[in-house]
Structure 1
C-alpha cells in the first residue's frame, strides 16, 4: 500500500496538482493508527491510505488541505482522551508530520513558432509542465515538441477561454499575429493566473489594449499584463528573447528583485 500511495503522489505532482503526505511519527499508548502510517491527501479532499480514521483523520485532513493552500509543511499533535480536542477515548497520544509537495508550475505557450520552441526548451529545463497551443497542426505536434505535456490545436482564444487556469500557471502569448495575440489576451485577462505576458512593440500593445477596452475589458486588468514581455537583456535573437521572458517569469514566481546579485548581497573588501 505504501508504494501505491507514493506512486499516486508522484503522479499527482507530475500532473501539476497539489498534494500532501501525512506521516505518523510518534504514537504513545492506545491509538487507531500505528507509528509510521502514511496517508496521501489531495486537493479535492480525496485520500489514499489511512492514519487510523475517525476524528483524528478528519482533523488531520483539514490541516493538510490548509497546509497545501498556504504551501508550508507542518507538524501536529493530538491527545486521544476524553478531555482532548478530538473527544476520542483511545487513551494515547499521536504526533505527525504533513509534508506539502510543491506542484510543478505550468508554462502555457500560445504560439508554436520559433520563440515558442525556445520557451518550451527552457520550460522543460526548469521542469515545468508545458502546454503548447496553436491553430496550425504543423506548429503543434510531437515532432516539433517531443516532450510537451499537452499539445492543443485549434482556435487559440477559444482554447484558452475554456482552459483551467490558476496562480500556478504562467502564460506567454506569442501567436503568429496581432489579432491572434489580442484574442488570446482577451480570453484570459482578469482571470486568476500567476503571469500573463504578451509579445509586441509598445505601439502594438497600446493598440491592442485600446481595442480591448473598447470591447469592455477592464483597464486595471490590462495593466497587470507583462507586455512588451520579458526583461531587457536580449539582442533580439529568439533564444535570448525567450531567456528574457523566462527570467521575468522567474522574477514573478520567486518574488525576486531582478537586481544584480552583487547589488543584493554587497561584498565589502
Structure 2
C-alpha cells in the first residue's frame, strides 16, 4: 500500500518521504523493516506502529521533505513501572515498553521546466533542456505546436486553452514555468493563473518592460498580486538576439534560480 501511494504521489509531483524502522528492542508495536509513507501535507500510507511515535514521525517526515534531508530518530517508551532511557531519546512511545529507531528519507520530485508556448524560442528551450537532461513539459493551445513530433523528449505535451491551465496540467513546487505564447493576451492569461499557484518557485515571462507593465497593471486591476517569483523581462543578459540565444539566456536564469547559484564570473585575475 505504501509503495503504491509513493508511486502515485511521485507521478503527481507530490513530495513525500519514506519512514522505515531500522532498529527495535523490547515491546514495540511494529518491528524492523516496517514502513510508512508520508507526503508533504501529512497524508500517510502504511504504519510504523500508530500512536505517539507515528504522529511524531509524520511531523519529522514533513520537516525532512521541507529541508530535503534524511533524518534518523530514536524513540523510547515506558514499560510497566520501568522507564526506558537512552541518551539520544527525546520522545515517549507511550506505555508498552521498548525502543525503536526510524530512518526518514525524503523522496523529492525532480525539478522541471514547463514551457507555455511551443514557438521558435520554446522549441530551442526544449532542445537545451534535453542537452542538460532537465525534464520539461510543453503547453500550447495550438495542436501543431503542442505536438510530440515537435517535442519528442518532453515529459508531457498538452494542447489545451490558455484560459484553463489548472484543469489541463498539474503544476507543483518544482515546476519552473516559462511564459512565451504567441500573443500578449495569452501571456496575460497564463501569468494571472500561475501567480495564483503559490507553490511555484519561478515564473518567467518573455517580453519588454513596456509590455510587462501593461500586463501587470491589468492583473493588478483585477485584484491579482505580483510577487518576486516573477522574472520579467526573462533571461540573463548575454547579448541575446537569435531564438537559440534567447533560449540559452532563459535556461541560464532558470538553472541559476533552481540551483541557488550566483550571477558572477568564475574567472580569476592571473595577471
TM superposition score normalised by structure 1: 0.81
In 2: Cα distance, 1:252 partner to 1:232 partner: 15
Correspondence list, 1:1-269, <5 A: 5=3, 9=6, 12-82=9-79, 83=83, 85-159=91-165, 165-189=171-195, 191-192=197-198, 193-218=200-225, 221=226, 224-262=229-267
The answer to whether the 8 Å contact 2:16/2:40 transfers is yes
Aligned CA RMSD, in angstroms, stands at: 3.0
Q: How many corresponding residue pairs? A: 261
| Counterparts in 2 of 1:234 and 1:59: CA distance versus 1, 3 Å | same
In 1: Cα distance, 2:164 partner to 2:11 partner: 26
Q: Which runs of 5+ in 1 are unaligned?
A: none
Could you list the per-position Cα deviations for residues 17-43 of structure 1 after superposition, in whole angstroms to 9, with x for gaps in the alignment? 211111222223332222333332233
Range that drifts further, 175-184 or 114-123: 114-123
**Cα distance, 1:139 vs structure 2:** 0.8
Could you list the per-position Cα deviations for residues 72-116 of structure 1 after superposition, in whole angstroms to 9, with x for gaps in the alignment? 321211102245743533322111211112211232211011211
In 1: Cα distance, 2:35 partner to 2:16 partner: 13
The answer to whether the 8 Å contact 1:161/1:187 transfers is no
Tell me the secondary structure at the aligned position of residue 59 of structure 2. Answer: helix
**Cα distance, 1:199 vs structure 2:** 0.7
**Cα distance, 1:48 vs structure 2:** 3.9
| Counterparts in 2 of 1:227 and 1:180: CA distance versus 1, 3 Å | same
The answer to whether the 8 Å contact 1:141/1:151 transfers is yes
| Counterparts in 2 of 1:243 and 1:15: CA distance versus 1, 3 Å | farther
In 2: Cα distance, 1:31 partner to 1:21 partner: 19
In 1: Cα distance, 2:223 partner to 2:16 partner: 38
More helix by share: 1
Range that drifts further, 179-188 or 104-113: 179-188
In 2: Cα distance, 1:10 partner to 1:268 partner: 52
